[in-house]
Amino acid sequence: WIKSSAKAGYNEHLKAKVFIGVTVDITEHKQLQQQKDDFLGIASHELKTPVTTIKAYSHLLQEILLQKGDIKEALLVTKMGTQVNRLTNLIADLLDVTKINAGKLQLNNTRFEFNTLVKDIVEDIQNTVPKINIEKDFNQTGIVYVDKERIVQVITNLITNAIKYSPGANKIIVLTSVKNKEIILSVQDFGVGIPVSHQAKVFEKFYRVSGDMQHTFPGLGLGLYISSEIIKRVGGRIWVNSVEGEGATFCFALPVLDDGTEKL
């Protein structure tokens, strides 16, 4: 592997006078990157089986305790299950990253009505966070042809992120609209926001909020990277608008089928 770059030098008449080129051997760097990706893939696969087993046994233990009437003990098992689910999600993120790096992220496109999917996701998440009001504003809907499960993954990530990064807020807003043959989903929060200098980095792999915030919000910094890769691979766009201290709005756009736009 080599990396080459070149730069032209100009005279006072703005004509190229000299060209300077640099070629660097980056084979070792690429090999180390591949070894890291291989390790992540192997470690994730090896962790997946025991975690799945723990999850199954904890569910069985919870049922046994409930049958015996041991409510307090069953509640402890429920809390354990919550942490196991979190670990399961982290492993799934690592597996997705290895697939993306290897160019093996599989997409199974299907045709579906977009807003119905968003409505179902919002309702499912709302049931788990009663203290946060998820406001819905669906102006128009449309038929899309993309991988439905992967889009569920993206929308879920954006909404849960909005909740996580808005610890002092009591609502977030989920909005959909259709413009220029694209259906656009935006998720607005009223939390910590993102500095302008960081906004170009939020979709990078392993990006984390710097400073003290890093210790406040858990996660590996993979969710937005995976979401952006999914959206790009289905032919869409993803971006963020934010003012530090006032919250952030994450958006993505997907192509709408020609016959798929509907007014609500």
Task: Tell me the pLDDT tens digit for each residue of 231-247.
Answer: 999 999 999 999 988 99
Token couple for 154: 């993206």
167 Cβ neighbours under 8 A, 6+ residues apart: 191
Q: Is 132 left (phi over 0), alpha (psi -120 to 50) or beta?
A: beta
Q: Among residues 43, 72, 101, which one ends one of the domains?
A: 101
**Predicted pLDDT of residue 262:** 56
**Separation between Cα atoms, residue 56 and residue 54, nearest integer Å:** 5
**Separation between Cα atoms, residue 149 and residue 231, nearest integer Å:** 12
Report, as an integer, the average pLDDT of 115-142: 92
Q: Is residue 200 located within the same domain as residue 240?
A: yes
**Predicted pLDDT of residue 135:** 96
> Domain holding 193: CATH number?
3.30.565.10
Query: Quick check: 29 and 50 in contact, CB under 8 A?
Result: no
What burial class does residue 113 get, using C-beta atoms within 10 Å of its C-beta: 0-12 exposed, 13-18 middle, 19+ buried?
middle
User: Could you tell me which of 100, 34, 41, 90 has the C-alpha nearest to residue 232?
Assistant: 100
**Predicted pLDDT of residue 215:** 42
**Separation between Cα atoms, residue 240 and residue 161, nearest integer Å:** 13
Task: Tell me the pLDDT tens digit for each residue of 55-77.
Answer: 888 889 989 999 988 888 888 88
Beta strands in the chain (DSSP E): 2-10, 16-25, 109-113, 133-138, 140-141, 143-147, 171-179, 182-188, 237-243, 247-255, 262-263
**Separation between Cα atoms, residue 57 and residue 67, nearest integer Å:** 15
**Separation between Cα atoms, residue 138 and residue 264, nearest integer Å:** 7
109 Cβ neighbours under 8 A, 6+ residues apart: 145, 146, 147, 234
Task: Tell me the pLDDT tens digit for each residue of 162-185.
Answer: 998 888 889 999 999 999 999 999
7, part of any domain? no
Top-ranked range on mean pLDDT: pick from 6-15, 31-40, 169-178:
169-178
Q: Is residue 113 located within the same domain as residue 182?
A: yes
**Separation between Cα atoms, residue 194 and residue 240, nearest integer Å:** 9
| 214 pLDDT above the threshold of 50 | no
Average pLDDT along the chain: 84
**Predicted pLDDT of residue 90:** 80
Residue 216 belongs to what domain range? Answer: 109-263
6, part of any domain? no
21, part of any domain? no
20, part of any domain? no
Report, as an integer, the average pLDDT of 110-138: 94
How does residue 130 score in pLDDT terms, banded at 50, 70 and 90? confident
Q: Is residue 61 located within the same domain as residue 151?
A: no
Percent of the chain with pLDDT over 70: 85
Report, as an integer, the average pLDDT of 14-19: 72
| 219 pLDDT above the threshold of 80 | no
**Predicted pLDDT of residue 5:** 78
Task: Tell me the pLDDT tens digit for each residue of 81-123.
Answer: 888 887 887 888 888 888 888 888 889 999 999 999 999 999 9
Q: Among residues 85, 101, 117, which one ends one of the domains?
A: 101
**Predicted pLDDT of residue 236:** 97
**Predicted pLDDT of residue 10:** 74
Q: Is residue 154 located within the same domain as residue 206?
A: yes
User: For the chain, what is the total number of helices (H) and then of strands (E)?
Assistant: 5, 11
Q: Is residue 138 located within the same domain as residue 251?
A: yes
| 40 pLDDT above the threshold of 70 | no
**Domains contained in the chain, number:** 2
| 6 pLDDT above the threshold of 50 | yes
Q: Is residue 77 located within the same domain as residue 57?
A: yes
Q: For residues 140, 145, 150 and 152, what is the CA-based torsion angle, rounded to 10 degrees? A: 30
Query: Quick check: 165 and 188 in contact, CB under 8 A?
Result: no
